[in-house]
Amino acid sequence: MDAILHALAIAGSMTWQITWALILGFLLSAVVQAVVRRSTVVRLLGDARPRTLAIAAGLGAASSSCSYAAIALARALFRKGADFTAAMAFEIASTNLVIELGVILTLLMGWQFTLAEFTGGPLMIVFLALLFRVFLRDRLLQRAGEQAERGVAGSMEGHAAMDMTVARQGSFARRLLSAEGFTSVSHVFVMEWAAIIRDLVIGLLVAGAIAAWVPDSFWQSFFFAGHPLAAKLWGPLIGPVVAIASFVCSIGNVPLAVVLWKGGISFGGVIAFIFADLIIAPILNIYRKYYGPRMAAFLLATFFAAMAGAGYVIELAFGGLGLIPGRGTAKIPDEGVSWDYTTWLNIAFLLLAAVLIVRFARTGGGMMLKMMGGPPEQSGADSGHG
């Protein structure tokens, strides 16, 4: 019982430390999503040229941070005519280049990890595009397209189909500060929380359990912490493997990343681990449903190679520039709640979140929550704001 309480205490303390940062991150993300029209995305992703992939990354960064919603939306874009490589670039950016991820990484692990994430994400897209160009055959892509057209359900289909952007015309500020803008921001904010809350809770509980129950000596041995060169070579390879086995995706894998970093995994290994939220076991099963078993295996192999490659480059570049922080900078909170700046920030941002939740509830949000896990045809038509 003491061991369980210790794990729950760590998970609770970690939750308290990151609450305000998550609310801030999701609020900023909601503001962006409220004014970026979904209808323009497909038109801009018609090929795999470098410029198109850069646009895909930018649009993905302004999209949902939920891994399940991101892969559902990527399939929807592919079915509507977007290039497959561009759709995958969009998917990667949707989970690895979003504002809220950067905020929580800075808070828990340090600004160097945020910089590494936002540097490694574009690198992964470049590596993946190169791998697709060399190894992706037309026949495999054609079969994937045929399977995608069958519309087999995965997860968060309804959420991915919803377009909650402001429909009215005008400048960014005019659209955002309107009543419709307030409603749209509240809808995006609450729906994003609803989409990731399961993975976030699981991630915090897993991180708390591992931090409380697994001794540092195990991780140090597992990650070859006593052998610097071996650790750097091993980290980007084992990081994605740990992610696949953990079943935790989206922002929920950051608390576990803190534990792994404190345990001895290399800097590049941490980055590869965070990237690997797109190849955890449940998502690989969804790829199988979306694109068929052969494409699912192809995505596993190419995503893994791109993640590991990005991890190695980040390790070399940041190590050469002296930007890899000491392990003491990462925090595994276990001190509970105290009257400090974190508490005051949590109170302020929780009040702000309450205002958005009330607006959400008063403007048809309950029905949207019921539809978020359903098929797209029930969700996309009437979810916009005009």
Radius of gyration of the chain (CA): 20
Q: Give the CA-trace dihedral at 60, 63, 69, 72, to 10 degrees.
A: -50
Q: What is the pLDDT of residue 386?
A: 42
- What pLDDT score does 356 carry? 92
pLDDT at 1 (0 to 100)? 65
Taking residue 49's Cβ as centre, other Cβ atoms within 10 Å add up to 13
What is residue 382's predicted lDDT score, i.e. its pLDDT? Answer: 42
Q: What is the 3-state secondary structure (H, E, C) of the chain?
A: CHHHHHHHHHHHHHHHHHHHHHHHHHHHHHHHHHHCCHHHHHHHCCCCCHHHHHHHHHHHHCCCCCHHHHHHHHHHHHHCCCCHHHHHHHHHHHHHCCHHHHHHHHHHCCHHHHHHHHHHHHHHHHHHHHHHHHHCCHHHHHHHHHHHHCCCCCCCHHHHHCCCCECCCCCHHHHHCCHHHHHHHHHHHHHHHHHHHHHHHHHHHHHHHHHHHCCHHHHHHHCCCCCHHHHHHHHHHHHHHHHHHHCCCHHHHHHHHHHHHHHCCCHHHHHHHHHHHHHCHHHHHHHHHHHCHHHHHHHHHHHHHHHHHHHHHHHHHHHHCCCCCCHHHCCCCCCCCCCCHHHHHHHHHHHHHHHHHHHHHHCCHHHHHHHCCCCHHHCCCCCCEC
Instruction: Spell out the domain ranges in the chain.
Output: 2-373
Classify residue 364 as left (phi > 0), alpha (psi -120 to 50) or beta.
left
- The pLDDT value given to residue 189: 85
- Determine how many CB atoms are found less than 10 A away from the CB of residue 340: 9
pLDDT one digit per residue (tens) for the chain, 386 residues: 677 777 777 778 778 877 887 788 778 777 777 776 666 666 778 888 999 999 999 888 877 667 777 888 888 888 888 899 999 999 999 888 888 888 888 888 889 999 999 999 999 999 999 999 999 999 999 999 999 888 776 665 555 556 666 666 666 667 677 788 888 888 888 887 887 777 778 877 877 888 778 887 888 899 998 899 999 999 999 999 988 887 666 677 888 888 889 888 999 999 999 998 889 888 898 899 899 999 999 999 999 999 999 999 999 999 999 999 988 777 666 666 677 777 898 899 999 999 999 999 888 877 777 776 555 554 444 444 54
> For position 192, what pLDDT does the model report?
77
φ, ψ of residue 268 to 5 degrees: the values are -65, -30
